[in-house]
Amino acid sequence: MNSLTWMDVALEQAERSLKAGEVPVGCLFVYNNEVIATGSNTVNETRNATRHAEINCIDQVLNFCNEKDLNYKEVFCDVDVIVTVEPCIMCTSALFQLQVRNIIYGCANDRFGGCSSVFEVPKIYNSKTKIVGGIKNDEAMALLKEFYKGTNPNAPESKVKKSRKNKDINTKNV
């Protein structure tokens, strides 16, 4: 299969995530042209901010390697990661540490992107990992826009302070 076909599968995963009330990110880890892990965000379900789609897939690959008695380091080096949204800085760092072969993503992540949008994680690693972005960008972005139309019931309350009434914050120490 090619990256467009794999991205369609990842987009289906993201749609399921949206229906479950999670940020709609779908992810696949492909090894030897076979999907060995599928994931989506489970941050709201688990109330754990680190449970991104990529991290959930990493756990599945480790289980796969244990079950098949494979060296996880060798497997990750031949894994293609297909994800609907540019991985965040945390996930990009994890993928580079594992030295995955390719990261193929849909839309950019202008808030947390670790491939190039916010921070260029690749610059701090000596890795052969290749990155390709913009695959089915519009479809991935449409899912994010749909999610952000609503409200996240698990989001913390805003900590923005109400305006202060004529308090002088520029007092000088004499």
CA distance 108 to 91: 14
Query: Among 12, 54, 86, 139, which one carries the catalytic annotation?
Result: 54
Residues comprising the chain, all counted? 174
List CB contacts of 143: < 8 A, sequence separation 6 or more. 11, 14, 15, 18, 24, 84
Residue 120 bears catalytic tag: no
Q: Do the beta carbons of residue 147 and residue 156 sit within 8 Å?
A: no
What strands lie across the sheet with 26-31, from one edge to the other?
A: 34-40, 26-31, 79-85, 102-107, 130-132
Residues marked active site are found at 54
